[in-house]
Amino acid sequence: MVDRINYRLTGIDEFLGKLDSVSYDLKRKGGRAALRKAANVIVNKAKDNAARVDDPETGRRIADNIALRWNGREFKRTGNLAFRIGVLHGAVLKNHPDKARNAPTPHWRLLEFGTENMRAQPIMRPAAEEGAVPAINTFAVEYEKSIDRGIARAKKRGVKP
């Protein structure tokens, strides 16, 4: 049921040249920060989409439960940096008497995928599709900035980056 969306970057030779001259630690730290900023672009689009379909009559807001989490399992398994974007409490389909603002919103699945009685009003898939290009651009810009900062710091100390 989980759909993965993968993107491949091409045509960034200058960036890759800089990346080769940077230490392993800087690649991980700067890459994680840049990836978080890029993922936040998609999170913000998902929150906007959720606000569009949220029912103002209830206290529950899907937008409040959209979250960005570090994917430690993927990092430990493959060494790739990864974040997960999803809706908290998303797998719970029980009755929740709590109607507070940050209460679980299990009905997001029904809106996202639809039912036999209701058409789908997707939230997450359009956010990933529309936010892909801006997220990739954000990642490239932020990662290059962090690498430039790391190279400048290393030059100041007289250490190889």
pLDDT in tens, 34-69: 999 999 999 999 999 999 888 777 777 888 889 999
Look at residue 58 and tell me if it is in a domain. Answer: yes
Look at residue 31 and tell me if it is in a domain. Answer: yes
pLDDT above 90 as % of the chain: 36
Token look-up 């409040």 returns 64
On average, the pLDDT of the chain sits at 82
Which CA distances in Å does 42 have to 4, 110, 111, 113, 123?
A: 14, 21, 18, 19, 11
Look at residue 130 and tell me if it is in a domain. Answer: yes
| pLDDT, position 22 | 62
Look at residue 5 and tell me if it is in a domain. Answer: no
Look at residue 3 and tell me if it is in a domain. Answer: no
Give, in degrees to the nearest 5, the angle at Cα 71 between 69 and 73: 145
Which CA distances in Å does 126 have to 50, 52, 70, 123, 135?
A: 11, 13, 21, 6, 13
CA distance 125 to 107: 16
Residue 22: both structure tokens together: 């940077």
Q: How many domains does the chain have?
A: 1
CA distance 2 to 68: 16
Stated length of the chain: 161
Check residues 123 and 28 and name the one with the higher pLDDT: 123
Mean of the pLDDT values across residues 126-155? 88
Look at residue 156 and tell me if it is in a domain. Answer: no
Look at residue 7 and tell me if it is in a domain. Answer: no
Q: Are 41 and 138 in contact (CB under 8 A)?
A: yes
Look at residue 110 and tell me if it is in a domain. Answer: yes
Residue 63 domain boundaries: 24-151
